[in-house]
Amino acid sequence: MYTKRPKKLDAPTDVYAHDVGLLEGGTLDLAGRHGKPTLIVNTASKCGFTPQFEGLQKLYEEYHGRGLEIVGCPSGDFAGQEHDDADAIGEVCQRNYGVTFPVTEKMSVRADPHPLWADLARQPESAPPSWNFTKYLVDGDGKLVKRWNSKVTPQDEDLVKTIESVLPAA
């Protein structure tokens, strides 16, 4: 599935140098995220970790006012656990979990990764996602702060503390 590992970078680069298509149309220019930390998560609608959408939405509601952004990126790279139809993906996100943060169009995050995901994987101390719901926290300068695997929930103490550490004081 992933025969060629990306060459690691010696120093972090600006992950916000990418554009991504949005699920409901249009484009999200990540350069507009400068100054705001962003949690980027590869998602899937038919995965055992799909209920993490609820926790991601809670994080968004709690910290968005302090500047946190979240971007969900649907992908079928792991066991085809994502719908092909944008409406079906949106229904799972919004109807089942009340997601209000941006969700991108379906994209590859590992097999033939979108440039954003290739860049995330190449950052120092990073790696490609190993399954759905891998989480990457990028600071306001576009630099990767930390990566968490799928089993780490959005309410995990380390994840929350790390997010709080990159946000302005309340």
DSSP string, 131-144: STT-EEEE-TTS-E
**Active-site residues: which are they?**
96
Pair 101, 56: CB distance under 8 Å: yes
Judged on CB neighbours under 10 Å (0-12, 13-18, 19+), 89 is buried
Q: At 43, is the secondary structure helix, strand, or coil?
A: strand
Q: Which residues face 18 on adjacent strands?
A: none
Distance CA 35, CA 45 (A): 30
Residue 22 is classified by DSSP as B
The helix/strand/coil state of 110 is coil
* Cross-strand partners of 147: 136
